[in-house]
Every structure is written in structure tokens, then in C-alpha cells.
Chain A
Amino acid sequence: MNWIETLRAGAEAVRAHRMRSLLTMLGIVIGIASVILTVGFGQGAQQQVRDEIDALGSNLLIVSPGSATDSGGLRGGFGSATTLTLEDATAIADDTAAPDVRRVAPTTSSSVSLAAGETNWTTSLVGTTTSWADVRARTLTSGRFFTADEIASGAHVAVLGPDTASELFAVGSPVGRTVTVAGQQLTVIGVLDSSGASDSGSSEDDQAILPISTAKALTGATSGSVSTIYVEATSQETLSAAYQEVESLLATRHRVTAAEADFGISTQESLVETANSTNKTLTVLLTGIAAISLLVGGVGVMNIMLVSVTERIREIGLRKALGATPRVIGRQFLVEASMLGLVGGVVGLLVGVVGSWVLPPLIDQPITLSALAVGAALLTSLGLGVGFGVYPASRAARLTPIDALRSE
């Protein structure tokens, strides 16, 4: 009995018990689909983080308040501590104290409601200085950025992110029009270009940038504290030198050692790592759960194949009496189990692919399918079928013809 015959016989047996085969495959389908989706979810999240951080601007150091043991600088949360001040930013900008630093942009950040006519929109209000656009590598599609004079005078002007602008002003150019914040009127003087972060709705495209003095006045902040200081190094090569200059400068100013620092400095790399390590934990956890469901699916295949061997024991006896060798019988059951696994895997793959189109808008997370994950899923499902089919198949193969024929 050659392989084609064996495959045909396997397909026949799977089809003969259609409902049972379907239910058996369901375990594999769910397992494979969830593995594909969780791995895709993890990869999508990594790509998203990478895009967002790339869009932050090159040669960038991000100084945030919080303990230095939070190496990533993210966990302290922007603005959760108030140890950084405008004076810190001014000191870093000093060419003699930190020669490898080109520009500095201190920022404050808070959430506010903007109004333009009848339209209301809640966004983050960022107060900063003139160098912000350069430090963050942002350009404007229309209008202009604010000037040092406007900062000095606390002028009521605002630069809007592209998403913010389109939310507030559906038609016409926003430049020159008025938005209201906390009862105060601001003139829109410019609109930012999109940050280039892959997904839409990124906070980088939805914010209102104000002179830092104006932002403080509007939000009623009196202290000189800032939530983040963005520092641009003179080049990629001087990034680590700039890092050390900023670190020692701030440690001196805050009268702490580097080990007990009340601030954190992160680079793009460290941000990517931190974000990815959080994502990775989640992905590993989810993938683990998905893998367990795959395993359960495999046990389901084994269970059904054992039932099938018992149920078809007379058939096995007859086939042996007519000349089927143990090897042929074993192979037949193994092929049947592998088919359950593989067909389940293919269906699971389809479900996963459909899921990767349907789910992202719902969960607001991109899902990236990779050829590797797809190939691995198919191999795994086949492997599960074979792996969990071996025992039932060898049981069928080992039956003596007379015992099989005589059983009722």
C-alpha cells in the first residue's frame, strides 16, 4: 500500500466521521489561531514601539523625574515626580557644562479640553521652548512655531498636532483661528506634520504645543518643575558622552550621587528595550496559554484516535487477515491523526489570518503576521498530529489479527 493510497484512506476515514473529526480539529484550530494571533500581537507591538521611538527624533536623550533604578525612565511616569526644573534645563543647555549637547527642550504636560466653536476635544497640552521642534525632529505643515519673545511674554498662541487640528477644525486652515482653553483664547499659529509613527492616533500627533510660560499660566502651575527634558546630542557618536555630561551635571545640581539619582535618563535604545520587555512578558504569557491550548488539542486528537482504534478493532482484524502488515495499519492511523492535525492547523491559520485583519481596529493594536510564525504553526500542527497519533497507531499495529477479529 503506497503513500497515496494511505493518504486517500486517511482522508476517507476523516470524512467518514465528519462531525467527530471537526470537533477533534477544533482544539487544534483554536490553539493554532491563538498562537498565530499572540505572536503577531507581540511582533506588532514591538514594531509599533520601534516606529514611535524612531519618530521621537535622533540623538535624543529623555530626562525624566524618578529614581535612577528605573533604568528605562518610563516606570516613574512622566510628571509623577517634580524633581526636574527649568533651571536644570538651562544648565544642560550651557555649552561649557555640557559641550556635547546641542539643544534642550524642557516640557510640561497636562491633559486639557480644547474648544473651537461648538467642537470640544481633550488632548495633552505641552508647554515647551522654541527648540522643541528641532529636538523632536518635527516640522510644520503650515504656519510657524512660537518665538522666544512669545515665551517671554506668555503669548496666547498654540501649535497643534495634525490630529488635534483636524478634530477641532474640520474645514479650512486652522492657522489664525482661535481655540479656547480654560476660558482663555489662544491663536493657532501653526500645525505640526505627522510624526511618522506607524499607527494613527499616536499621541505624538494629538497634542497642543504652547510656550512653556503660557502653559504654566493656563494650568495654574506655580513651581518651576517640568515633566520631561528632551536633550539633543550633537551627533549619534556623542550620544553617550552627552548622556554622561547630563547625568553628572544633574547629579551635582541635585546633590546626589549617580546611584541615588532622583532622575532617569533614557535613550531610544533603552526605551525600545523597556517597552519591548513589557511586551515580551505579555506575549510570552499569552503564547504560553496558547501553547497549552494547542497541547490540549493534541491530547484531543490522541483521545479520538484511541476511540477510533477501539471502535474499528474488527476492521483492523479483518484488514490484517486480508494481508495488512502491522506497519501498514500503523501508518494508516498515523496518517489519519496527522491529517486531523494538519487540517486543523490550516483552518487555525485561516482563522488567525482573518483575526489579524478583524481584530486590530477593535483592540487598537497592530498584529503582524510573519512567514516564520505561519510555517511554524503548520509544522507544529502536523507535529502534534504525528506526535499524538503515534501511540494509538502503535496500538492498532500491535493488535493480533485474531484478537481484533474476535472482539465484539
Chain B
Amino acid sequence: MSTTPISPPIIAIEGIRKTYRTGSLEFEALCGIDTTIREGEYVAVVGPSGSGKSTLMNILGCLDNPTVGGYHLAGEDVSTMSEAQLAEVRNRRIGFVFQQFNLLAGLPAWRNVELPLVYAGLPRHERRDRAVAALERVGLGDRTENRPGELSGGQQQRVAVARALVTEPAMILADEPTGNLDSRSTADVLDLLDALHDAGRTIVLITHEKDVAARAGRNLVISDGRIVSDTPAVRAGAPA
């Protein structure tokens, strides 16, 4: 099940810097990050608040551009792509799970889950089948017609996980996916991520919690916009 060191890199970043400009003030949130994440890895990004974790995650997810630096995603140079091309890359390769769930309140669960498939251009009946299947995978096969407001926080985040996996992306990016959940729901969501990892997906997850980080195969510790440590996690199963 686990990855081997020879699996090809899915993420390769080099000299990534991100400078935020607020009025005349400049703030360097990332000051030169280089790293490689290989297919099938499970990486937890940890670090103090304000250290630049989310900033890094947004760049990895092609939601934001670095001020300087190169980024190859699955061998493609995404740092030179247009917004339309990036949208297609996000749709095809990346599943997002956000701390705030980010579900559309007006749509039932399955319509939320099918959204990435809409933009992938799949026909309607196929979208529905796949959305329902994804919801069954996260244990919500009986909640397909419920709107987010009719679901618990944990269930909502599971809908979000279903949405992230419905396109079968190679990589799942999760920014504090359990930040708003109790321990029971946290365990549910982490179990889902474990299962996805076991199925061969690359997972990059931001967390504040030690035990969450411990589940990952690799821990990247960030402080003040720099990687200060890059170690296999305490738990077994890390790449050799």
C-alpha cells in the first residue's frame, strides 16, 4: 500500500516566495520554499499560526500565484499557465477540503458533490450517479437530498470530502479540515483521508493537532515562511 521513494513527484516547488502588499507595507509570508512531494505520499504541514501554511497550500492548489518561484504539478509547469488553464488543472488533479466546508447552502448534498463534474463537462445522469456513489463512500448514501443546513458539521465536512474525491483526483489538499469538528467527526474525516491514502491518493493536509499530524507519513514544519523541519511522522508507514 505505502509509497516507495521511486514514485514520481507530483509536486515540485523551487524557491517559492510570496510577498503580500498592504498599502505601502510589504510582508513576506513565504521566504523561499523548496520541496518535492511524491505520488501517494501523505504529508502534514504543521507550524505556528501565521507561519504561512495556508499561503503555501493556496499556491500548491493553484488558487494563488507565488511572487517568485517555480511549480511543477504532475510534470506540468503551472507557474506560466493562464487562469483558464489553471481552472482546468484544479478540476482534473486536485480535490479541496476547506476548514469552512464551503458548501453551497442552496443545493442538496449530491448537487454540491457533482459541481466539479459539471465543470469537467460530464453529462447530467453520469454526474448524479457518481455524486451519489461518492456520498455512499463517505457514509452519507441516505443524505443525498439534504441541504447543508440540514446536516451536522461532521456530515457537511464528509460531503466536502465526497466532493473532493468525486473526480478521482491524484491529490487531495485539505487546509485544517478538522479545525471546526469535534473529536468524533474528526476521527470520521481522518479515517476517510486514510482510506483515500490507502487507495493511492496523495494527501497534503494542514493541521494544528499533534495526533492528526501523527497519522501522516511525513511532517513538514513551517515557521516564519520557511521549512524548518521535514521528517517522517512518528507513526509507522512512512517512506523508507
A323 touches B87 (CB 8 A): yes
Contact A314 B102, CB 8 Å, known A320-B87, A321-B61, A402-B64: yes
Binds A, one of B112-120, B212-220, B222-230: B112-120
Write out the residue numbers on chain B whose beta carbons fall within 8 Å of the beta carbon of A400. 64, 83
Q: How many angstroms between the C-alpha atoms of A215 and B15 in the bound complex?
A: 109
Contact A325 B87, CB 8 Å, known A1-B121, A314-B102, A319-B115: yes
B63 touches A405 (CB 8 A): yes
Other than A402-B63, A405-B63, give 20 A-B pairs with Cβ distance below 8 A. A1-B121, A314-B102, A318-B102, A319-B115, A319-B119, A321-B90, A321-B96, A322-B116, A322-B119, A323-B87, A323-B90, A323-B119, A324-B87, A325-B84, A325-B119, A326-B87, A400-B64, A400-B83, A402-B58, A405-B102
Is A259 in contact with chain B by the CB < 8 A criterion? no
A325–chain B nearest beta-carbon distance, Å: 4
Q: How many angstroms between the C-alpha atoms of A402 and B64 in the bound complex?
A: 6
Q: Which bracket fits the contact residues of B?
A: 20 to 34
Q: How many angstroms between the C-alpha atoms of A326 and B119 in the bound complex?
A: 12
Write out the residue numbers on chain B whose beta carbons fall within 8 Å of the beta carbon of A401. 63-64
Is A315 in contact with chain B by the CB < 8 A criterion? yes
Write out the residue numbers on chain A whose beta carbons fall within 8 Å of the beta carbon of B92. 323
Interface residues of B in 103-124 (CB under 8 A from A): 104, 106, 115-116, 118-121, 124
A230–chain B nearest beta-carbon distance, Å: 73
Closest to B58 in A: A402
B176–chain A nearest beta-carbon distance, Å: 14
Write out the residue numbers on chain B whose beta carbons fall within 8 Å of the beta carbon of A325. 83-84, 87-88, 119
Closest to B90 in A: A323
B83–chain A nearest beta-carbon distance, Å: 6
Write out the residue numbers on chain A whose beta carbons fall within 8 Å of the beta carbon of B118. 1, 5
Is B178 in contact with chain A by the CB < 8 A criterion? no
Give A66-92 as 1s and 0s: 1 = Cβ < 8 Å from B's Cβ atoms: 000000000000000000000000000
Is A16 in contact with chain B by the CB < 8 A criterion? yes
Closest to B116 in A: A322
Q: How many angstroms between the C-alpha atoms of A5 and B96 in the bound complex?
A: 23
Q: Which one of B83, B92, B98, B124 has the greatest number of beta carbons of chain A within 10 Å?
A: B83
Write out the residue numbers on chain A whose beta carbons fall within 8 Å of the beta carbon of B121. 1-2
Q: How many angstroms between the C-alpha atoms of A94 and B85 in the bound complex?
A: 92
Q: How many angstroms between the C-alpha atoms of A326 and B88 in the bound complex?
A: 11
Which of the residues B84, B90, B98, B124 comes within 8 Å of A327, measured between beta carbons? B84
Is A140 in contact with chain B by the CB < 8 A criterion? no
Which of the residues B83, B90, B116, B124 comes within 8 Å of A326, measured between beta carbons? B83
Write out the residue numbers on chain B whose beta carbons fall within 8 Å of the beta carbon of A327. 84
A7–chain B nearest beta-carbon distance, Å: 13
Is B91 in contact with chain A by the CB < 8 A criterion? yes
Is A373 in contact with chain B by the CB < 8 A criterion? no
B88 touches A323 (CB 8 A): yes
Write out the residue numbers on chain B whose beta carbons fall within 8 Å of the beta carbon of A181. none
Write out the residue numbers on chain A whose beta carbons fall within 8 Å of the beta carbon of B58. 402
A85–chain B nearest beta-carbon distance, Å: 84
Q: How many angstroms between the C-alpha atoms of A318 and B119 in the bound complex?
A: 12
Interface residues of B in 85-101 (CB under 8 A from A): 87-88, 90-92, 96, 98
Is A175 in contact with chain B by the CB < 8 A criterion? no
Closest to B167 in A: A323
Give the A-B contact count at a CB cut-off of 8 A: 57
- Nearest 8 pairs of A and B residues by beta carbon: A323-B91, A323-B119, A402-B64, A325-B84, A325-B87, A402-B63, A322-B116, A401-B63
B104 touches A318 (CB 8 A): yes
Is A328 in contact with chain B by the CB < 8 A criterion? yes
A65–chain B nearest beta-carbon distance, Å: 75
Interface residues of B in 48-83 (CB under 8 A from A): 58, 61, 63-64, 83
Q: How many angstroms between the C-alpha atoms of A401 and B87 in the bound complex?
A: 9
Interface CB pairs A-B, < 8 A, 29: A1-B118, A5-B124, A16-B106, A315-B104, A318-B102, A318-B104, A319-B119, A321-B61, A321-B90, A321-B96, A322-B90, A322-B96, A322-B119, A323-B87, A323-B90, A323-B116, A323-B119, A323-B120, A324-B87, A324-B119, A325-B83, A325-B87, A325-B119, A326-B87, A327-B84, A400-B64, A400-B83, A401-B63, A405-B102
Q: How many angstroms between the C-alpha atoms of A70 and B124 in the bound complex?
A: 72
Q: Which one of A16, A322, A402 has the greatest number of beta carbons of chain B within 10 Å?
A: A322
Interface residues of A in 127-185 (CB under 8 A from B): none
Q: How many angstroms between the C-alpha atoms of A325 and B121 in the bound complex?
A: 12
A283–chain B nearest beta-carbon distance, Å: 46
Q: How many angstroms between the C-alpha atoms of A35 and B161 in the bound complex?
A: 53
Interface residues of A in 280-327 (CB under 8 A from B): 314-315, 318-327
A344–chain B nearest beta-carbon distance, Å: 23
A395–chain B nearest beta-carbon distance, Å: 14
Write out the residue numbers on chain A whose beta carbons fall within 8 Å of the beta carbon of B104. 315, 318
A319–chain B nearest beta-carbon distance, Å: 7
Q: How many angstroms between the C-alpha atoms of A326 and B82 in the bound complex?
A: 10
Write out the residue numbers on chain A whose beta carbons fall within 8 Å of the beta carbon of B120. 323
Q: How many angstroms between the C-alpha atoms of A74 and B91 in the bound complex?
A: 75
Q: How many angstroms between the C-alpha atoms of A324 and B116 in the bound complex?
A: 8
Closest to B92 in A: A323
Q: Which one of A320, A321, A328 has the greatest number of beta carbons of chain B within 10 Å?
A: A321
Give A13-29 as 1s and 0s: 1 = Cβ < 8 Å from B's Cβ atoms: 00010000000000000
A322 touches B63 (CB 8 A): no
Which of the residues B63, B84, B88, B106 comes within 8 Å of A321, measured between beta carbons? B63
Closest to B164 in A: A322
Q: Which one of B61, B88, B118, B124 has the greatest number of beta carbons of chain A within 10 Å?
A: B118
Interface residues of A in 1-49 (CB under 8 A from B): 1-2, 5, 16
B51–chain A nearest beta-carbon distance, Å: 17
Write out the residue numbers on chain B whose beta carbons fall within 8 Å of the beta carbon of A326. 83-84, 87
